[in-house]
Amino acid sequence: MLKRSSIQRSNEELKAYFADLAVQNLRPLWTVDQPKEPKSKAVPYVWHWRDLRSRVMRAAELVGTEEAERRVLVLTNPGTQWGAANTLLANIQVVLPGETVRAHRHTNAALRFIIEGKSGYTVVDGQRCPMIPGDLVITPSWSWHDHANDSDVPMLWLDGLDGPLVRMLEVGFREDYPEEIQPACEGNDNSQSRYASGGLLPAWEAAPSTPHTPMYRYPLKQAKAALERLAAQETGSLYDGVILEYTNPVTGGPVMPTIGCYIQLLRGGEHTEAHRHTSCVCYHVVEGSGYTLVDGQRLEWEEKDVLSVPGWAFHEHVNTTDRPAVLFSLTDIPAKRALGYYREQAHYSGRQ
Ligand code: GTQ
């Protein structure tokens, strides 16, 4: 008969054994706590625009873009002390009228969601991408990028990056462009007119081999029109209302391999059901106000606020007004899916 074994020994013997192991840099696995499910170090958190904006603007009074290669405030989750979420950064950057921000590249994948301004631009691998409030502009891993503000008002935007993931994987490289700024191609980035044709793609092109979308810019105008059109004809998701993913038009996959981007509309008065997933999420409120319940904690939000929902935390959204609310979000779903670690679970009683 085979069975599990049980051994007689004194506690002193065991303690002496453990002490000897420690000297050898060894550790007995059976003494290590192994939780049944993840518990994020990150905590549910909201940064209110009313507190953020003045502090970001103050940075622009104190440091120039010569001194600060990126004039950025890092929204820091009190639980992790690096970035807004466990694998994601959600930073706020400001560029004043007439300023340029030097060109560089890094392995960190990045995106900008424009919050305020008129007509700055980012040059991504030579493509000049105009930045209009509400637009999403992506700067994939290892792409050269520099920013500029050629308007007469400050530009503020949300930077989303996979910084903490890159740090954890120890794959961080960075490089300065040999010049201050890249020579931009004539005219604006044309990826919009090439790829945003309702499912039609240039047939003379070989399928791009890059792991990111060939479309660098996703205007809010199109996203909002799609949200409103779908809100008029469909219920959407039980957990997220009418939610759309920004996708690679060629593959239908996420915009970048480590970061997924979404935009959602919560109807006036909508109160979603609660669920949780292993991916963490940073939300930016494009318009409207309400609150999100995260593991029982109420995060109140209004326009331009940023909130962090840790992985495997139950969350449900409530639009407290009678007008639609629109939320932009970035998540690490693509990274977790690719590794086979994505899981999702509905709350057992619908709501918390
Ligand atoms: O604009 O390239 O928030 O390199 C952090 C690192 C923005 C940028 C950030 C960066 C950038």
Neighbours of 300 (CB within 10 A): 14
- DSSP-assigned letters across all residues of 86-114: SS-EEEEEEE-TT-EEEEEEESS-EEEEE
Cα(155) to centroid(ligand 1), Å: 14
pLDDT at 62 (0 to 100) = 98
- Token digits for 17? 């054994």
Q: Could you identify the residue written with the tokens 């996203």?
A: 223
Say if residues 76 and 115 touch (Cβ distance below 8 Å).
no
Pocket test of ligand 1: the residue of 56, 71, 89, 93 to mutate, having most ligand atoms within 8 Å of its CB, is: 93
Nearest to 332, CA basis, from 312, 347, 318: 312
Say if residues 236 and 243 touch (Cβ distance below 8 Å).
yes
pLDDT at 183 (0 to 100) = 93
Pair type for strands 45-47 and 100-106: unpaired
Q: How far is CA 96 from CA 105, 151, 154, in A?
A: 22, 9, 4
d(CA 252, CA 250): 6
d(CA 43, CA 75): 13
Nearest to 166, CA basis, from 256, 255, 79, 254: 256
| Ligand 1 atom with least separation from CA of 101 | 1
Say if residues 297 and 45 touch (Cβ distance below 8 Å).
no
Q: Which residues does 274 contact at the CB level (< 8 Å), separation at least 6?
A: 239, 293, 314, 315, 316, 346, 347, 350, 351, 352
pTM above 0.75, yes or no: yes
Say if residues 268 and 292 touch (Cβ distance below 8 Å).
no
Say if residues 110 and 172 touch (Cβ distance below 8 Å).
no
Q: Return the DSSP state at 267.
A: -
- The beta strands (E) that lie in 173-296 are given as 174-176, 217-218, 242-246, 260-266, 275-277, 281-287, 290-294
Pair type for strands 242-246 and 155-161: unpaired
d(CA 88, CA 111): 11
pLDDT at 351 (0 to 100) = 97
Pocket test of ligand 1: the residue of 56, 71, 72, 76 to mutate, having most ligand atoms within 8 Å of its CB, is: 72
Average pLDDT, consecutive stretches of 10 residues, N- to C-terminus, the chain (352 residues)? 96 98 98 96 98 98 97 98 97 98 98 96 96 97 98 98 98 98 89 87 87 95 97 97 96 97 98 98 98 98 98 98 98 98 97 97
Neighbours of 172 (CB within 10 A): 11
Cα(8) to centroid(ligand 1), Å: 59
Element (H, E) at 167: helix 163-169
Pocket of ligand 1 (CB under 6 A): 70, 72, 91, 93, 106, 110, 145, 159, 161
